[in-house]
Copies of this chain bind each other. A is one copy, B any other.
Amino acid sequence: MMKGEIIVLETEFFKALAHPTRLRILEKLAFGEVCVCEFIEKLDLEQSNISQHLAILRKQNIITSTKVGLKVMYRIKYPEVLNVLGLVREVLAKQLKESEELIKHLTDPFE
């Protein structure tokens, strides 16, 4: 596999995560299996839209599903993905803390 191809894979991976609905889906899956019906109920979005977002995460091999009667249960396939989300949140937290401090210096410039 060539370097350029890996970058494309990485890009596709990041694209799969780059949508609020898909992040919300993963957030729910962090606690365990969830059926589509529950996503519909909790996320308050159109069924077909949720199905499309699930398809994108499935295609990227981030989640898998099994059919149980009429329902389809989804779960996270590689739990490491949750670590990625956690690490991103850490970076964001650090960024926010710094801008907070900047604001503090702006409002109390002589302390």
How far in angstroms is the closest Cβ of chain B from A39? 15
Chain A, 1-45, CB within 8 A of any chain B CB: 1, 4, 6-11, 13-15, 17-20, 23-24, 27
Interface centre among A4, A8, A14, A87 (most CB of B within 10 A): A14
| CB neighbours of A80 from chain B (8 A) | 87, 90-91, 94
Contacts of A6 in B (CB 8 A): 89, 92
CA distance A92 to B61 in the complex (A): 9
Is A24 in contact with B10, judged by CB distance below 8 angstroms?
Answer: no
A88 in the interface (beta carbon within 8 A): yes
Instruction: Give chain B residues whose Cβ lies under 8 Å from the Cβ of A19.
Output: 11
